Amino acid sequence: MPLYINGIGAISPQKTWGDEGVLLSAPIDYPNNYLACVEPDYTQYIDAKHLRRMSRILKMGVAASTLALKEAEINIPDGIITGTGYGCLEDTGIFLRKMVEQKEQALNPTPFIQSTHNTIGSQIALLLTCQGYNQTYTQEAFSFENSLLDASLQLSEHPDQNFLVGGVDEFTGLSLQIQNRFGIFRKTVGSSLDLFKTSSSGTLPGEGAFYFALSGKKTKQSLVSIDVVETFFKPTKEELLDGINQFMKSHDLKKNGIDLVLAGKSGDNATEILTDVILNEAFGSSPVGVFKHLCGEYSTASAFAVWLGARIIQYQHVPPIILDKPINTSVKNILIYNPHFENYHSLILLRSC
């Protein structure tokens, strides 16, 4: 059953909130080796007395939820579903550090309370007094996909309801230090926008906070529909190709006939080999756009792709920064194929409505 997107709140390394101007017409370049969110002045969205205690991920998540509800013209949703790969890293790090440094003595409980993954979704519920369904998924790069799947189950049972569904992740100084030691990120980068112009091992870390106001029925606010979500865990190349082909067949998609494929290429030359084979064999001559040079690689990066895809369909404008050669046809369907390192692969189909 399709989910209709009626509003989006997006906080990302690009300017994706407030007056966006022409979609990604002035992409922000990051010369350092990470892409951090462009954050708004939170006092516009969150009461100062709440703001004081919130970590960065909570501020970003709450602000994104507020923006999504405003665009959808909804006061209180019927339920809130949040996907987060690593949860509230800043508060987790603070509590761990203090616990070690203070030898388990005289610890402030606030970072502990705010360290649980469900803090983001429950903080939104608390501020809205939303007593409905509240759920948090944390399956690395399926966290946002699982959230969409849950929303489609909920909304097929109750099509008149509205759900807020998000993908939220932050990085911290500590998390970057640790992840860098695994060698998954590039050591030196001159320009994040040139991620795909140089062949190298490793990708760029990113982060983002997205909430989507979804309904089971089309409304006058509906921008685009999310038709289907599929996940593939640790597939072999053959299993993945079979899975994608079946997906295409059952949703009436032609190999060379997708208006736009948004591919979660990461720039890491080892994993790109498989990604390129898949793109070529599964989607043929359909135009392929990329997005991780704009948001970085992180667990819920597919939420950035859903925002991007929805805005492309809404404005009928494909920003040149995501393509090699421009496309001039109208974009009615967008297939997001998001590989995340070796084990996680997902498909999300967007259609104009």
Which residues contribute to the site for other proteins (CB under 8 A)?
80, 85-87, 95-97, 99-101, 103-105, 107-109, 112-119, 121-123, 125-126, 128-140, 142-143, 146, 150, 153, 156, 177-178, 181-182, 231, 233-235, 343
Closer Cβ to other proteins, 128 or 260, answer by number? 128
Closer Cβ to other proteins, 90 or 259, answer by number? 90
Rounded CA separation 166/303 (Å)? 7
Q: How far is CA 305 from the centre of its chain?
A: 6
Closer Cβ to other proteins, 250 or 343, answer by number? 343
Rounded CA separation 127/122 (Å)? 9
Indicate if the alpha-carbon torsion angle 115, 153, 9, 70 is positive or negative. negative
Rounded CA separation 78/128 (Å)? 11
* Beta carbon of residue 212, minimum distance to other proteins (angstroms, whole number): 19
Closer Cβ to other proteins, 125 or 248, answer by number? 125
Helix (H, G, I), strand (E, B) or coil at 194: helix
Closer Cβ to other proteins, 129 or 199, answer by number? 129
* Beta carbon of residue 46, minimum distance to other proteins (angstroms, whole number): 15
Kind of pairing between the strands at 224-233 and 79-83:
unpaired
Question: Which residue's entry shows tokens 């969409």?
Answer: 148
Rounded CA separation 56/89 (Å)? 10
* Beta carbon of residue 301, minimum distance to other proteins (angstroms, whole number): 15
* Beta carbon of residue 343, minimum distance to other proteins (angstroms, whole number): 7
Question: Which residue's entry shows tokens 């529909």?
Answer: 225
Closer Cβ to other proteins, 134 or 314, answer by number? 134
Closer Cβ to other proteins, 19 or 182, answer by number? 182
Q: How far is CA 321 from CA 24, 83, 139, 166, 291, in A?
A: 8, 27, 30, 25, 9
* Beta carbon of residue 208, minimum distance to other proteins (angstroms, whole number): 17
* Beta carbon of residue 86, minimum distance to other proteins (angstroms, whole number): 6
> 19 - beta bridge partners?
none
* Beta carbon of residue 249, minimum distance to other proteins (angstroms, whole number): 18
Closer Cβ to other proteins, 116 or 221, answer by number? 116
* Beta carbon of residue 91, minimum distance to other proteins (angstroms, whole number): 10
Q: What dihedral do alpha carbons 82, 34, 26, 23 form, nearest 10°?
A: -20
Indicate if the alpha-carbon torsion angle 16, 12, 82, 267 is positive or negative. positive
